[in-house]
């Protein structure tokens, strides 16, 4: 890899316990809201799980397909970033 690439690489700090707990609580609250929204109209839980899994699979497939096609297109990075 070129020197320019090495200079642009960033190191990420390890997340703190507080930040991990904050994310965990926010996700749990989000899931609680989803549970209420499915529970109030009496949507069958297996149907809800199947629909959530299906949309997650489809969007993951779309995302990985887009990432692979963009990797081929932008292999060396966008033109405005090249030195």
Give tens-digit pLDDT for 61-80: 999 998 888 776 766 665 65
* pLDDT for the residue 62: 95
| 24 compared with 8, residue with greater pLDDT | 24
User: Residue 28, exposed/middle/buried by CB under 10 A (0-12, 13-18, 19+)?
Assistant: exposed
| Alpha helices (H) in 1-83, listed in sequence order | 3-8, 17-39, 45-73
Mean pLDDT of the chain: 80
Containing structural domain, residue 21:
15-81
Q: Domain for residue 23, yes or no?
A: yes
Q: Domain for residue 2, yes or no?
A: no
Q: Domain for residue 72, yes or no?
A: yes
Q: Domain for residue 63, yes or no?
A: yes
Q: Domain for residue 1, yes or no?
A: no
53 — pLDDT class (breaks 50, 70, 90): very high
Mean pLDDT on 31-40: 87
């Amino acid at each position: 890899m070129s020197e320019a690439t090495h200079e642009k690489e960033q190191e990420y700090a390890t997340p703190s316990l507080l930040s991990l707990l904050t994310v965990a609580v926010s996700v749990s609250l989000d899931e609680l809201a989803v549970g209420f929204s499915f529970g109030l109209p009496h949507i069958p839980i297996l149907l809800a799980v199947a629909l959530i899994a299906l949309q997650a699979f489809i969007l993951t497939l779309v995302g990985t397909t887009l990432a692979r096609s963009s990797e081929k297109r932008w292999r060396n990075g966008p033109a405005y970033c090249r030195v």
